Amino acid sequence: MTTEMITTPGGGTLELFTTGAELSGSGSGIVVVAASMVTAADYAKFAQKLSAALGRPVHTFNRRGRGKSSPQPENYTLDVDIRDLDAVMSHTSSTDVFGHSFGGAVALHAARTLPVERLAVYDPAVSVNHSVTADWTGEYERATATGDDDRALAVLTKGLETSVHFARMPLSMLTIANKITAATPMGKQMRELMRTGVREIKAIIAADMPAEPFLELPLETLIVVGEKSPAHFGVACGQIQNVLSGSSYSILTGYGHDGAVRAPDKLITELSEFYSG
């Protein structure tokens, strides 16, 4: 894997990782747009397996607020990530994109205007006809205002519902669990990213729209949802698939929202066949 820093047209800096860089002559690479609350490193296994299956490079990058990339601006909107994706695609000469969760929402909105040829998303956290809500943000902000990051993180975790196990825990128990795990690598990462995560969920809601504008997506679009993922992912995806007649829709049986990070062979095979055209 190679690492480099690239500069966006707006003066931002992005940390870019390429798996299979030696395969750059074998065709366009795949750009991976990561979810909230994770970094590019969490997709190392996914990138390695997909690159090996395709015989093409896979590019992951730290979105703003992660790793060595520029901080996320306070006035953040989805347009920030869309412009950054454009910069990564241009730098790597890539035309195929994969987005997971929040990254899937970025990819779906971006592919309406960027030169994406093949788009695949897994559990995209896109809001269609108000399918995404966040009535918990007030409680989160009250907790952070008093410096109670353990409770704030618990509110965020339950609000996102991406982990069924944690989402079902009482808020008080989850707050205690956060105190216990605060010094672990995962606990530290969650705290480092929770403020960017809240900005991102607000940006998703602000970008809510009906399904019809997604007719501008590439003809070749693959939508995958996890069988055990929260239902709201399937609601939005179903509406997009209904208007995008050329798209493909599948369910990854046996897996939940973390299916992309876990990179099961069945998902890698499906994506490899899709990107191979």
Q: Domain tally for the chain? A: 2
Tell whether 108 and 152 lie within a shared domain.
no
Residue 175 structural domain: 137-195
Q: What is the mean pLDDT of residues 184-188?
A: 87
pLDDT at 168 over 80: no
Q: Judge contact between 225 and 123, C-beta under 8 A.
A: yes
Distance CA 81, CA 76 (A): 9
Give 154-159's long-range contacts (Cβ < 8 A, gap of 24+): 154/178, 156/194, 156/197, 156/198, 157/190, 159/134, 159/201
Q: Does position 253 have pLDDT exceeding 90, yes or no?
A: yes
Q: Are residues 94 and 34 in the same domain?
A: yes
3-state secondary structure of 5: strand
Q: Are residues 12 and 74 both part of a single domain?
A: yes
Listing from the earlier edge strand, what are the strands of the sheet with 2-7?
2-7, 13-19, 58-62, 30-33, 96-100, 118-122, 220-226, 248-252
pLDDT of residue 83: 97
Q: b/e map of 168-198 (b: 16 or more CB within 10 Å)?
A: ebeeeebbebbeebeeeeebebbbebbbbbb
Find the mean pLDDT for residues 245-266: 94
What pLDDT, in 10s, does the model give residues 40-70? Answer: 999 999 999 999 999 999 999 999 999 999 9
- Domain harbouring 264, CATH code: 3.40.50.1820
Examine the pLDDT at 186 and tell me if it is beyond 70. yes
Quick check: 239 pLDDT over 90? Answer: yes
Band (pLDDT 50/70/90 cuts) for residue 165 is low
Residue 202 lies in a domain: no
Q: Whole-angstrom Cα distance, residue 69 to residue 256?
A: 29
**Residue with the two structure tokens 């998902």:** 267
pLDDT at 164 over 70: no
In this structure, what token pair is assigned to residue 259? 């299916």
* 223 & 122 share domain: yes
Integer Cα distance of 111 and 141 in angstroms: 32
3-state helix, strand, coil split of the chain in percent (to 5) is 50, 15, 35
Same domain, 268 and 221: yes
Residues 143 and 267 in one domain: no
pLDDT for the residue 166: 67
Average pLDDT, the chain: 92
Q: Which of 93-102, 130-139, 165-174 has the lowest mean pLDDT?
A: 165-174
Q: What is the largest CA-CA distance in the chain?
A: 54
- pLDDT band at residue 31 using 50, 70 and 90 as cut-offs: very high
pTM for the full predicted model: 0.92
